[in-house]
Amino acid sequence: MSESEVAGSDIYLQPRVLFEHGKKYMICARSGHGKTSLLNFIYGSNLNYDGTITYGEPVASPFDLRLRKLSYLFQDLALFPELTALENVQIKNSLTGHKSDDEMEAMLDSVLPAGKKNQPLRTLSLGQRQRVAAVRALCQPFEFLLMDEPFSHLDRETSQAVADMVMREVDAQQASLIVTALDPIDYFHFDTTLNL
Amino acid sequence: MLRRLQRKTLIPAQIAGYAATLLVGVTIVMLSVQLYSDIKPVLTQQTDIFRNHAVTVSKTVSTLNTLNKQGIYFTDDEIASILEQPFVKNVARFNSSSFQSTASISFGQQTIRTDLFFESIPDPYIDVESNEWAWDSTSGFIPIIIPEDYLNLYNFGFAESQALPVVSQGAVEQINFTISLYGKGRQRSFQSHVVGFSGKINTILAPEAFLLWANNEFGSADGGNTSRILIEFADASDERIPAFIEQNNYNIKQDELENSKMVFFFRLAILFVIIVALIIILLSVAFIIMSLNLIVQRNRDLFVNLYSIGYSPRRIARFYQQTVSLITLADIAVAIIVAILLRGFYVDILSTMFHIEGSVIPIVATAVALAAILVVVYNIIILRTIRSTVEPTRNTD
């Protein structure tokens, strides 16, 4: 990105930006202004930036935080079409054993139409997949939950249901939340809104 | 679940192709190594001399040195310079008797007597096995070995022309005679008989210990001049040997090197086959690596997604490492069986001509070595490929 594109950003080119434990942040920007890039920088899946990101503890690679401290709802979802909705959640949960099978099924049932959780993911609509990805992101211990436009394919009512489920888990884990959106959203009670 | 996801990424036809080519390559390599170790003893074991790669070397007798015999002796300097050659492992002298000796045999009243000489070489170079080959000054017995050619000369030449009966080696060994030694005013008699026939050493051999003792007792202790030596080559097929022999005007029984040349060509042929088979193996390895690369390219999203949700490259690679290792090991196990069966066939054929002994250890050892190398290489390559696919990189521009 050129300097003019990020002029006025609350994050890019700032000397220091701190995301604190237990707080909820909303990051708003238009398309193409680096929302996904920012989350990828934090998550360690994109290294093409200048500057440094520290995590409150020394780490060799942000990858080491993925199963303990960082969870990420990807904009492109990163789901496995060959697996069922439930299996998509299980394949992640099996890394940490954070949730029981009953808990995972209950979470899916709370956001998906009945019977969908055992269908292959490729038969689900985009919005339904987005909900599966949201459930999956909650199935691990984390201190920061990154959500990249989590409601882009959901109606208002469903978005609120997903947001409520997310809030329960975030509160239970006393974690922080960083959500990006094109336009401000009000499903969460954000502590801070940052513009990119 | 991860396993199920990854199993779908495999390309069965390519794995089958890999298994088939690897089977062919590994089987050929193992069989070649086995054949080499089966045949080599047959070619080299004919005499102990050849196991040692030792040949008898003398100087050429010409009209110039028929009277001046100094020309046919090896000097200490010459022996030292021979020893310095890089292809020479050891040099052994022929010791010769420096005393008078006669052999006599009595038939009732009649006694046949003949003058005799002895030579000796160190025991390891003798191509005859005999448990009577020992010297003990108190036993009164001297074992001797004569050239096979002597007997052949009599049987096929003399006996034939004079209508005399032929005699076997066993019969000659039964003949006892008396050997008398003279010198320094002493005389002593010993019983003796032939204990073996040498196909390679063209002299009348007595145990080295005996000759040292007898030279000391009846002749000059230094044993006199050395006209023949045994050269033990590090590798008798070394191409510098014929040149060296030629250059120094030494005399060598040509066929003694022939056998070694045969071993050399046999080794060369086997080496060629092994190289071809190794190329086949390399191709099969290249094939499976290309197949794995194709799998990685096709399923890039799958691997990146797995990495994104927290699966380590090691964990993602594990399935492919295990699968390829397992296929390779099973394949090599099958190749061992095939190679052992095929060896059975050629052993059946060859054992009508030679005595083949030895085990299938070369097959198994080759298999274990190949398996270990391949499995290690695959495990490293697969992990590196997965790692380079999923891990983010920093653009350098």
**What does the pLDDT average to over A94-99?**
94
**What does the pLDDT average to over B368-397?**
91
Q: Which residues does B195 contact at the CB level (< 8 Å), separation at least 6?
A: B128, B130, B132, B133, B143, B144, B145, B173
B309-320: per-residue pLDDT in tens? 999 999 999 999
Answer yes or no: are the C-beta atoms of B324 and B382 closer than 8 Å: yes
B332-355: per-residue pLDDT in tens? 999 999 999 999 998 888 887 777
Sequence length of chain B is 397
Instruction: Please state, in angstroms and rounded to a whole number, the distance separating the CA atoms of residues B211 and A87.
Output: 91
Smallest CA-to-CA distance from A27 within A149, A176, A145 is with A149
Q: What is the ipTM of this complex?
A: 0.93
**What does the pLDDT average to over A33-41?**
92
CB pair distance less than 8 Å for A82 and B5: yes
pLDDT at A87 over 90: yes
- Distances from the Cα of B58 to the Cαs of B82, B83, B128, B219, B242, in angstroms? 13, 15, 21, 23, 14
Query: Which residues, in sequence order, are bridge partners of residue B221?
Result: none
Between B78 and A71, name the one with better pLDDT. A71
**What does the pLDDT average to over B195-204?**
86
Top mean pLDDT of A135-149, B47-61, B121-135 is at A135-149
- Per-residue model confidence (pLDDT) at position A147: 96
Residues of A in contact with B305 (CB under 8 A): 78-80
* CA distance, residue A86 to nearest chain B CA (Å): 11
Residues of A in contact with B310 (CB under 8 A): 66-67, 92, 95-96, 140
pLDDT at B47 over 90: no
pLDDT bracket for residue B45 (50, 70, 90): low
pLDDT at B52 over 60: no
CB pair distance less than 8 Å for A92 and B8: no
What secondary structure does DSSP assign to B42-71, as a single string? HHHTTSHHHHTTEEEEEEPP-GGGTT-GGG
CA B294: distance to chain centroid? 47
* CA distance, residue B394 to nearest chain A CA (Å): 5
Q: Which of A45, A46, A80 sits opposite B5 (nearest CB)?
A: A80
All structural domains of chain B with their residue ranges: 2-44+261-390, 97-222
- Per-residue model confidence (pLDDT) at position B257: 65
Fill in the DSSP letter of residue A120: B
- Per-residue model confidence (pLDDT) at position A84: 95
Task: Sheet containing B88-93: give its strands across.
Answer: B88-93, B228-233, B54-59, B250-252
- Per-residue model confidence (pLDDT) at position B330: 96
The residue behind tokens 């989590």 is A150
Amino acid type, B49 = I
CA B186: distance to chain centroid? 47
pLDDT at B397 over 70: no
CB pair distance less than 8 Å for B393 and A47: yes
CB pair distance less than 8 Å for B305 and A80: yes
pLDDT bracket for residue B236 (50, 70, 90): low
pLDDT at A75 over 90: yes
- Per-residue model confidence (pLDDT) at position B48: 41
Q: Which of B5, B310, B311 sits opposite A83 (nearest CB)?
A: B5
The proportion of chain B whose per-residue pLDDT surpasses 70, expressed as a percent, equals 90
Architecture of domain A24-82+141-195: 3-Layer(aba) Sandwich (3.40)
Answer yes or no: are the C-beta atoms of B44 and B303 closer than 8 Å: no
- Per-residue model confidence (pLDDT) at position A191: 93
Residue A48 phi, psi (nearest 5): -90, 70
Poorest-confidence range of A21-35, A53-67, B54-68, B97-111? B54-68
- Per-residue model confidence (pLDDT) at position B308: 93
Poorest-confidence range of A116-120, A191-195, B69-73, B370-374? B69-73
- Per-residue model confidence (pLDDT) at position A24: 94
Half-sphere exposure in the Cβ direction for B153 (13 Å, CA): 7
Smallest CA-to-CA distance from A140 within A94, A180, A176, A193 is with A94
Mean pLDDT of all residues in chain A? 91
CB pair distance less than 8 Å for B310 and A79: no
β-strands A144-148, A70-73: how paired?
parallel
β-strands B141-147, B110-115: how paired?
unpaired
A128-183: per-residue pLDDT in tens? 999 999 999 999 999 999 999 999 999 999 999 999 999 999 999 999 999 999 99
**Helix and strand tally (H, E) in chain B?**
13, 11
